[in-house]
Structure formats: structure tokens, C-alpha cells
Amino acid sequence: MNNLLGDDETSQQNLFTPDFGQPPHSYVGRDDMLRDVRTGLGAGPRDPRFTSVLLGPRGSGKTVTLNMIEDVAYKAGWLVLPLDASTSNIVERLEERIEWARDENETLTAAPRGGTDTTTTGVRVLGAEWQRRVVRAIEPKWGARRQLTTLAEHAAANGSAVLLTVDELHSGGVEELRRLSSDLQHITKREQRPLAFVGAGLAEMKHTLLEDKKMTFFQRCQSFDMPPLTRADAMKCLSKTVRDAGGEFGGNALSDLAEAAGPLPFRMQLLGYYAWTVADAPHSPVSETAADQAINETDQDMHQRVFSPTWHTLNEHEQSFLRALSESGGHASPQQIAGRIGGPISASSIARADNHLVNVGCIAHEPDGSIRFGPVMAHESVVWFAERERQYAGTAAHESASRRAGAEAGARQRCSKHMPRANARCILRAGHAGRCRSRW
Ligand SMILES: Nc1ncnc2c1ncn2[C@@H]1O[C@H](COP(=O)(O)OP(=O)(O)OP(=O)(O)O)[C@@H](O)[C@H]1O
Ligand SMILES: [Mg+2]
């Protein structure tokens, strides 16, 4: 894409990427995991990491990491076939991608190995002469298994490999993923051909796809949990991104932001983006006041873009669990949660809800067994959802539950501490952990 800004303006751009799937200016906190996956890919089909699955909550950086792995493979001259399971017919789309690669090979001129060309179809067809020959040999009428086998055979003969990636694996249809699993199991595991696989999806897959008896291939993939970002990772990313665009931090702004970032890269990008904008950087340094405001803006965005969509994917038991945690002030023992939910929900259903909520990042278990909100849900958001639902509640049962929740919410004291920089009062509960907030 042509740059529409002049050189001066380019260096003053906001370089943060508060979106999904956007390559960050500074990629942090994933060195060990990337090294592990790269080593596995380089080692070949006998290495369990040759077929890997990245698991993590929304905004933990799965797509970005998948793209980095694709780039590494592409630069090594591999044929890379990137797919996404969020829309149906994945096997047919795989066949189409191979066909596109074939057609485009006829019209494109050779590029040096290790080039960065990406075709409009997303299939990377340039980079190695063997790819040009093999995709021409593939017959469109063949099924996916035969096409992939042929690609892998030619790759093996040329000392190369094929990498198939599937993002959003958790949202794929069961039947078509079983088909894909059976093809991959045959080609990579049984015949040991160099067809590598890296999938990515929400950690709930541990209890669906990765447990499905008809998807042995996925069960045998090496799974990697996306590591939580550390405070040091956030310091490094925030500081590099601001400084490379010609900005600087004032007072404790950098450490305030790093402290507020938590484990999710998406949240860290939001914080940096707002801090830069609010401060009018690089004309002014990113001050502590700007950092405070950025934290408030970020909390609101997280509510709309992460917590709210996540809440709507939860079933009633899971939502009841979170309401119970919220009514307990955001920190409770399993017994307290069970006591609050009580009634018709069985202990095993509560345990199932607990398991799912951990996997999606809504709650986390402390070492002493108690439960807190995780990075993908906030106490204040659950209060908000509960209050909204109460407005629509018509039945007696709903009303009594709402009255109870309302009475308890009312009984909780607000912190109300005055925040001079934001010129507002803290809206959190009295005795809350961490910093005060004027809104969320
Ligand atoms: N390691 C990282 N360092 C810095 N920023 C990152 C890193 N990983 C991801 N990001 C930033 O976080 C944002 C979210 O990442 P990404 O879209 O990869 O998450 P995801 O796990 O795929 O989310 P979803 O489950 O919603 O698809 C990206 O736009 C990117 O800019
Ligand atoms: Mg993603």
C-alpha cells in the first residue's frame, strides 16, 4: 500500500495495533514458544511439534503468531497454505487454494527463494522452483488427500515441506474437521510425509476437538498454551513502540501502563494506542494523566470488544457462575459460588461451567483454590450485564434473583476516592484491588 503521509508524519504515527490479527510493531513474550515450534517444524514429521495447536483466549496473539510461523516457513521455501475454519467447507477451500496456486503459477514470474510475495488469494506460491512444478502437476479433480499427498511427496523429493495452517479451529464444523483430521492423520502421521500443520483456536478446544475420538490427528498434535505477557514484556513493547515513533514517557507513565496491561497483548495494544492519542504524542510526552485516561478508555473497549462478545457465548450456568462471583465481590471460594448459585443447578454442572470459564479466560484459580476474574472478564462488566438483564426480567424468579443481586450490589460500598487527575470519583467497590478507576 502506498504511504499517504510524508516521512515526518510517518515517524509520528501511532504505531500501536489495537485490533485483531494486526502484526504489532514490537512482538514480545513469545520467543520460547516460537523457538519450540520452529524447532519442531525443522525436525520433520517424527517430531510431535511438527503438528501443533496454539491455544489461548481472545486477544492472546494466536493469529499474529500463526502468521509469524507462516512467514518463517515461507522464507525457508516451503509451500504455505493458510486457512481459517470460521467459515464452512474448509476441505473444499483447501482444494480451491491449491488450484489458485496452480493458476497463478502460470501467470507469475519467478521470485527469488525467500521473497515475500503473497498472492491475492492468500496462497504463497513463489519462493521455490519445486512448488512451481508440483502445483502444475496437481489435478483439480483430485480430492484434498491426493492433492496434499502429491504436494508433500514433491516437497520431500526437494528437501522441502508444506505447511497447512488453520486459524479459528474451535469454530470449524465437526464433520469437516473430522474429514481434514483423517486426511492429515494419513499423510503426516501414518505415511510420515512432510506436511506440517499448525492450528490456532480458543482453549475450550481442549474439551471438544482435542478430545473427539474421531479426530485422532488433532489429539496427537502438540498443544501450546499462549503464554501470558509479563510486566517486563509490556514495558519492552510499550517503550519501543512509543520511542520508535518519536515519542517519550513522562513520570511513571510507562510503568503505570505496563502494570495495567495484564496478560493479553490486545489489551496492551489498546493501552498504548490510547495513551499515545490522549497525550497528543509525539508533540507531548505520554504523561501519568494520559496513562490514567488510557486505562479508563481501555477498560471500556475491553468491555465492548472482548467481555461483551464473550458473555454472549456463555450458557446460563456459566453466566450464573460469573454473577455469583461478581456478587461475592470478584473473589470467592468454590463453596461460596456453589452456595450463591445453589438451587436447581447440580454440582457437576457448576464444575463444568468452572472448567469452561477457565478455558475461555473468564476466571482463574488462585493457588489456594479460590476463584477470581480472569483477563477475559471483569467484575464491573458482569454487574453491568446483570443490571441490563434485570431491566428485561419479567418472571417472578427473575425478579427475586434480581432483587437479591440488586440488594447485594447496593449494599456494597463504592470506593468514591477522588481522582484529581481525572477530576472524578472512583467507581469501584470499597477496598478494591489495584488502581482507582473513574469509569469503565
Ligand atoms: N506477542 C505480541 N506482542 C505484541 N503485540 C501482540 C502480540 N501478539 C499479538 N499482539 C497484538 O494483539 C492483537 C491481538 O492479537 P491476535 O489477533 O493475534 O489475537 P488472537 O488470539 O488471534 O485473538 P482472537 O481469538 O480474537 O482471534 C494484535 O492485533 C496484535 O497487534
Ligand atoms: Mg485470531
Closest ligand 1 atom to 22 CA: 29
pTM for the model stands at 0.83
158 C-beta closer than 6 A to ligand 1: no
How many Å lie between the centroid of ligand 1 and the Cα of residue 28?
Answer: 11
Tally of structural domains, the chain: 3
In the block, cell 493469529 appears at 63
Strand order in the sheet with 51-55: 79-84, 162-167, 195-201, 51-55, 222-225
Is there a domain that residue 428 lies in?
no
Predicted confidence at residue 164, as pLDDT, reads 96
Predicted confidence at residue 177, as pLDDT, reads 94
310 C-beta closer than 6 A to ligand 1: no
Of 215, 214, 253, which Cα lies nearest the Cα of 235?
A: 253
- Strands annotated E in 239-355: 331-332
Give the residue from 179, 199, 225 where a domain finishes: 225
Predicted confidence at residue 407, as pLDDT, reads 45
* pLDDT lower than 70: segments of the chain: 1-11, 102-128, 394-434, 436-440
Predicted confidence at residue 106, as pLDDT, reads 56
Predicted confidence at residue 404, as pLDDT, reads 54
Are 41 and 58 members of one domain?
yes
**Domain housing 134:** 31-225
Predicted confidence at residue 142, as pLDDT, reads 87
Are 76 and 159 members of one domain?
yes
Are 167 and 290 members of one domain?
no
Query: pLDDT tens, 51-72?
Result: 999 999 999 999 999 999 999 9
> Tell me, what CATH number does 94's domain have?
3.40.50.300
Of 224, 143, 213, which Cα lies nearest the Cα of 178?
A: 213
437 Cβ partners below 8 Å, 6+ apart? 295, 296, 299, 426, 427, 428
Give the residue from 225, 242, 271 where a domain finishes: 225
**Which bound ligand lies closest to the C-alpha atom of 55?**
1
Is there a domain that residue 20 lies in?
no
How many Å lie between the centroid of ligand 2 and the Cα of residue 372?
Answer: 25
Are 248 and 396 members of one domain?
no
